[in-house]
Structure formats: C-alpha cells, structure tokens
Amino acid sequence: MAERLSNRLHDLRAERDLTQAALAELVGVSRKTINTVENGIFIPSTLLALKLARALGRPVEEIFSLDD
Amino acid sequence: MPTADDIETADRLTRRRARMLPVLAIIFLTQQASYFASVVEDGTRTVDHVKIGAWLVLSIVMLLALTTGGFWFKPARIRALMDDEVTRANRTEGFRIGFLAAMISAIVLYFVTLFEPVSGREAIHIVMTVGLAAALLRFGSLERRALKDG
C-alpha cells in the first residue's frame, strides 16, 4: 500500500508564475492551505484537489500521485 | 470568491491566532495554578464565587474560541478563509489530544481519590483545565507548523 501522496503543485504553480497567495485566490482558499498541500503536510480533500487542478488547468493525476 | 486583500487579511489573522493560542493556554494554566495555590476552602465566600465565576467564563470563552476559530467580529468571508480544510483538520486533532488528556487526568484523579479526598468541583476543574489546555496547545502547534514556509 502506498503511504504517501506526492504532488507537483510547487512546480506547476511556478510554471504559471503564480505565488501561493495568487493560487489561493484562484482556488478560494487561504495561503496556508496551498502551503501545507505543497509541503506534503496536508492531504487535500477530493474537492480541493479538483479545484487546484481546475485553477492550474491540469488533470488531478498530473498534480497528485501515489508514492509506490 | 475571496479577493487578494481577503487572503492577506486571513493570513495575517491566522498567524496572530497561531501565536496567541499557546499564550492563552499558558495564561489559562497559570490562572488555575493561582486558584489551587490559594485553595478555595468551602467556596461560599464572595471572593470564591468571583474566582470560580472567572474560571468558568474564561473556560467557556476558550472553548468557544477553539470550536469556532475566534475573531467573531470579522467578516464572514474572512472567517471562512480562516476556517479552511487545514484549520478544521488541525482543530480536530487538537480536540482528539484534548479529549485524551481529559480522560487521562480523570483516570489519575480516580486513583488519587483512593488516598486523598478530592471534591467534585476540584475534579471538574482539573479535568476541564487539562483537556482545554492540551487542545489549545496542540491546535496552536499544528497551526504554527502549517504556517511555516517549506
């Protein structure tokens, strides 16, 4: 069983030249939420993962993946 | 949708809350220490009523602040940002630790009463204080960790 969820949020955000605050504004969450998801401290809900994917214009599985 | 200003305000207030929580827990614990140091004898004097009343009011305020996130006079959209998924998860963990601490203190008190009489009021005082302080400290430490830039 995979125990960890990896994410490319930081890279994809940087690609689009977005700050954490700017992405937070697009998604409608706090900057803390973006920060904790990026750092792997917090595993987002499906709803938040989908919102992040929509804001970045990428499919969810391109942002999040299981550490096998 | 929240504006950039809303995000910034929520961020600033969340940082303030994360700094305040451990301080509030310490103030709360210190108040209890002074309560037990002066030992309320039978609780019938006016000063005893004031002390117990002050503790009860402070406990209720702490409990409400912990449950709702505080900052009650801020706009709803700011409070919603401050009560995001991460905060709710951290609060739940804080409650879990607080509940555990309260249960452990109740078990310890149960054994203490076998050797030393403890009044019902004192027991409630200790269980509530330990539970609330533990929850505040845990929630505060998780919030501070969440705010650290990685």
pLDDT above 60: residue B80: yes
Where exactly are the structural domains of chain A? 4-58
- The complex's ipTM works out to 0.82
Contact, A64 vs A49, CB < 8 A? yes
B150 and A39: CB-CB below 8 Å?
A: yes
B11 and A21: CB-CB below 8 Å?
A: yes
Instruction: Tally helices (H) and strands (E) across chain B.
Output: 5, 0
Q: How far is B86 from chain A (nearest CA, A)?
A: 6
Q: Is A5 exposed, middle or buried (0-12, 13-18, 19+ CB in 10 A)?
A: middle
| CA dist list (Å): B71 to A32, B17, B24, B139 | 17, 9, 14, 16
Interface test with B, best of A9, A20, A27, A32 (most B CBs within 10 A): A32
Q: What are B39-73's pLDDT values in tens digits? A: 555 566 777 777 778 888 888 988 998 998 888 88
CATH architecture of A4-58: Orthogonal Bundle (1.10)
pLDDT above 70: residue A1: no
